[in-house]
């Protein structure tokens, strides 16, 4: 049975259960009333199971099927280190608070059914867990400890607050201090610990690399490729065959460069640029990955399963095997490569007045780094200019065009949050040697502008062709969050202009970011503005990109490392070859909703894993500085304490109980801590000296305390 047929059955059964004539009945009774033949019993059970999982129906205490009441919702349970938690319901901005007495034993990540308390007091909506519909975690990473007759695992996930009991027969020979992967066999209850069995020993907690490997396992990031994938990769040639070049536009004679970081190996975008009269002829050439990753092949299925490459501090977990990502799909210097190219004619105002999207063959003249281009154009480095003399006119033209595009983009209201990124240097054993701000220069921004132009051009082209496509969407911020942001920035003398129903144009956010530039509160207000926005995602509808102030936007430029780009390349190529017939259009309309939802989920997983590893290595780096004092900026204030960020991007917390000299309370409307008797104030953006008090690498926490002589405002 197809998915569409199953959906029809679900709608029919739900309509029956929702009708006024319906009287609660058991599954067997319903099967009789609906005259479900024996051959369809399995399908009927699936229909009821899915309706239950979706939170539309439930079984009462007598086993009768009923519709779920209006105050019953389904969401994801998010535990805390305390006994309470929250439930996030899709489509709702605010989470539901679940007290410790009403969790029903739900664990972090579980899909739960909740009953909403209509009489919730205070600002937060409250609810109780009615049922656990689906467990969010089946395996857990943690540290093993043994006793005489059994063992237990302390989970790395600090939101999983119970130790996992391990019977002696299920330890795999683990000893105290081993990092292990545990399969949970019994989730326990509110009063009983979960039980499990060890399925993998990663190594001792102090062994090099075990810490990052633990994060990889905890997030379920696939490292090894299945045999079917490697069999397919073995058949891929090292160089482009002559017959593969046939029928493509040949741009091998154009001066072509790639510009990336020094250590980049998967080079998926190349640039050509020259000027004719008043027109800039910009070519953004993207590796034609779909030539080698064909639809429904083992490579394609594995790429969809991974969704994206994951960039951890000491390694990359690529979406595609190295033979492709660093080889035939990488636009390496001096070799013919197949590309999908977006060629744009841009006038001196930065308007794209003409474009074409073509299957091409290119040959990169030089593989450049951001550092080298920066030296050539901005620092006028003699040795570097001599080495790349023939390319200097093109680099200078790149700076010229990028500046025009950037100014035009800003004029429309595009917002740039240029937060400092961290560069963490490790030794051979994985120990952090240094943490500093990753230096970005205008060479980075050139490539960003050209990629933005290509992404926008391709999105608009396919929107007007009314073909199935994958767009990158950034929704308009929630009006309540904008009101909160506006109320906060008014404390600093700024304001945001909103329209009807408190709607906001991105230009207002951009103006605010520009006004605070160079002020003590810059980082703070920029962060709060960013937090007021929604998370970007992949969608089948062209819903616009608020942050970029673009009506049409997609991800076209990185098919080596992002599945959505690979997916739209496949659509574009079919369209260019005249093969996007009604049957194929229907095919894409059917698969793209699931592709976009899964790609968005896997992107978040990758972001979370990257963030976890970074936090862990930053904590490990700060272990050597316990007792030392640094100057930082208050980057966040909550009811339980203040976050302080050091100049090298490392953030730690001063707990409210550790603020000396008075009893301090959180003044929410002004995001500040206030002394009850002294009236001293600690506020966002304020410079402050802090001493490193304690570090926990496992929990990824850094605790600061304020020296006794440090004064608030």
Average of per-residue pLDDT values in the chain? 90
**Considering the domain 3-67, what is its CATH architecture?**
Orthogonal Bundle (1.10)
DSSP state letter for 550: B
> Does 401 have pLDDT greater than 80?
yes
pLDDT of residue 572: 98
Whether 3-67 and 626-705 share one fold: the answer is no
Q: Rounded to the nearest 5 degrees, what angle is found at the Cα of 642, between the Cα atoms of 639 and 644?
A: 160
Q: What does the pLDDT look like over 402-413, one tens digit per residue? A: 999 999 999 998
State the pairing for strand pair 279-287/269-276: antiparallel
Candidate CATH numbers 3.40.50.80, 2.40.30.10, 2.30.38.10, 2.40.50.140; the one for domain 72-134:
2.40.50.140
- What does pTM read for this prediction? 0.85
Cα distance between residue 486 and residue 498, in whole Å:
9
Q: What does the pLDDT look like over 192-247, one tens digit per residue? A: 889 999 999 999 999 999 999 999 999 999 999 999 999 999 989 889 999 999 99
Residue with tokens 């616009």: 544
Cα distance between residue 312 and residue 324, in whole Å:
20
Strand partners for 683: 672
Q: What does the pLDDT look like over 333-370, one tens digit per residue? A: 999 999 999 999 999 999 999 999 999 999 999 999 99
> Does 102 have pLDDT greater than 90?
no
Cα distance between residue 37 and residue 47, in whole Å:
14
Distance of CA 472 to the CA centre of its chain: 13
Strand partners for 275: 280
**In the chain, % of residues over pLDDT 70:** 97
Burial class of residue 136, CB neighbours in 10 A (0-12, 13-18, 19+):
middle
Average pLDDT estimate for 602-631: 95
Closest alpha carbon to 320 in 293, 287, 285, 286: 293
Query: Which residues does 3 contact at the CB level (< 8 Å), separation at least 6?
Result: 590
Average pLDDT estimate for 89-107: 82
For the chain, the domains span 3-67, 72-134, 139-207, 227-412+426-457, 626-705
Q: What does the pLDDT look like over 334-344, one tens digit per residue? A: 999 999 999 99
Measure Cα distances from 628 to 434, 659, 694 in Å.
16, 17, 11
* 653 within 8 A of 701, measured Cβ to Cβ: yes
- Give me the CATH code for the 626-705 domain, please: 2.40.50.140
Residue with tokens 């994951």: 310
Look at residue 327 and give its three-state secondary structure: helix
More confident residue, 26 or 478: 26
Look at residue 255 and give its three-state secondary structure: coil
Buried b (16+ CB within 10 A) or exposed e, 116-127: bbeeeeeeebbb
Record: fold of 139-207: OB fold (Dihydrolipoamide Acetyltransferase, E2P) (2.40.50)
Q: What does the pLDDT look like over 279-338, one tens digit per residue? A: 999 999 999 999 999 999 999 999 999 999 999 998 999 999 999 999 999 999 999 999
Cα distance between residue 392 and residue 394, in whole Å:
5
Burial class of residue 55, CB neighbours in 10 A (0-12, 13-18, 19+):
buried
């Amino acid at each position: 049975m197809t998915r569409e047929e199953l959906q029809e059955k679900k709608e029919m059964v739900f309509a029956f259960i929702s009708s006024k004539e319906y009287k609660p009945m058991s599954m067997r009774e319903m099967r009789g009333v609906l005259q479900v033949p024996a051959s369809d019993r399995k399908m009927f059970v699936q229909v009821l199971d899915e309706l239950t999982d979706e939170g539309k129906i439930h079984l009462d205490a007598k086993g009768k099927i009923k519709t779920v009441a209006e105050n019953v919702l389904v969401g994801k349970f998010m535990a805390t280190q305390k006994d309470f938690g929250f439930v996030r319901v899709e489509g709702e901005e605010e989470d539901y608070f679940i007290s410790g007495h009403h969790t029903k034993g739900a664990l972090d990540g579980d899909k739960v059914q909740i009953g909403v308390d209509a009489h919730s007091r205070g600002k937060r909506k409250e609810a109780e867990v009615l049922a656990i519909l689906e467990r969010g975690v089946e395996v857990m990473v943690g540290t093993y400890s043994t006793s005489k007759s059994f063992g237990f695992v302390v989970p790395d996930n600090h939101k999983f607050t119970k130790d996992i009991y391990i019977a002696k027969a299920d330890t795999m020979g683990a000893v105290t201090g081993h990092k292990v992967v545990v399969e949970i066999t019994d989730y326990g209850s509110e009063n009983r610990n979960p039980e499990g069995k060890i399925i993998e020993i990663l190594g001792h907690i102090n062994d090099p690399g075990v810490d990052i490997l633990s994060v990889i396992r905890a997030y379920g990031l696939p490292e090894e490729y299945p045999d079917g994938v490697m069999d397919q990769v073995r058949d891929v040639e090292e160089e482009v065959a002559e017959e593969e070049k046939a029928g493509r536009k040949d741009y091998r004679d154009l001066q072509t460069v790639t510009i990336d970081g020094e250590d980049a190996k998967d080079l998926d975008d190349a640039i050509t640029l020259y000027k004719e009269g008043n027109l800039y002829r910009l070519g953004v050439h993207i590796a034609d990955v779909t030539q080698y990753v064909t639809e429904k092949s083992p490579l394609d299925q594995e790429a969809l399963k991974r969704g994206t490459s994951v960039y951890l501090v000491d390694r990359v977990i690529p979406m595609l095997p190295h033979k492709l990502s660093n080889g035939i799909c990488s636009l390496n210097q001096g070799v013919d490569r197949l590309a999908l190219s977006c060629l744009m004619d841009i006038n001196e105002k930065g308007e794209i007045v003409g474009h074409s999207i073509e299957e091409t063959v290119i040959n990169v003249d030089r593989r450049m780094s951001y550092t080298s281009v920066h030296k050539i154009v901005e620092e006028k480095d003699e040795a570097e200019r001599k080495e790349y003399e023939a390319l200097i006119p093109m680099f200078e033209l790149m700076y010229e065009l990028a500046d025009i595009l950037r100014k035009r983009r800003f004029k429309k209201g595009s917002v740039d949050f240029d937060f400092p990124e961290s560069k963490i240097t490790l030794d051979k054993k994985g120990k952090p040697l240094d943490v500093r701000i990753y230096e970005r220069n205008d060479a980075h921004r050139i490539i960003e502008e050209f990629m933005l132009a290509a992404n926008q051009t391709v999105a608009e082209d396919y929107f007007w062709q009314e073909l199935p496509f994958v767009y990158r969407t950034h929704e308009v911020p929630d009006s309540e969050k904008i009101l909160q942001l506006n109320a906060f920035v008014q404390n600093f003398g700024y304001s945001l202009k909103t329209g009807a129903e408190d709607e906001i144009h991105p230009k207002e956010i951009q103006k605010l970011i520009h006004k605070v530039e160079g002020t003590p509160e810059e980082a703070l207000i920029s962060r709060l503005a960013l937090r007021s926005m929604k998370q970007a995602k992949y969608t089948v509808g062209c819903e616009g990109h608020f942050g970029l102030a673009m009506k049409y936007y997609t991800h076209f430029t990185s098919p080596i490392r992002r599945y959505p780009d690979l997916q739209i390349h496949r659509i574009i190529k079919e369209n260019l070859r005249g093969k996007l017939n009604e049957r194929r259009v229907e095919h894409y309309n059917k698969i793209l909703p699931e592709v976009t939802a899964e790609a968005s989920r896997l992107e978040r997983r990758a972001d979370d894993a990257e963030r976890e590893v970074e936090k862990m290595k930053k904590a490990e780096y700060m272990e050597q500085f316990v007792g030392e004092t640094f100057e930082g900026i208050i980057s966040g204030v909550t009811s339980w304490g203040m976050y302080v960020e050091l100049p090298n991007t490392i953030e730690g917390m001063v707990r409210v109980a550790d603020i000396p000299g008075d009893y301090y309370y959180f003044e929410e409307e002004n995001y500040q801590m206030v002394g009850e008797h002294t009236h001293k104030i600690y506020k966002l953006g304020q410079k402050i000296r802090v001493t490193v008090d304690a570090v926990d690498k496992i929990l990824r926490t850094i605790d600061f305390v304020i020296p006794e002589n440090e004064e608030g405002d």
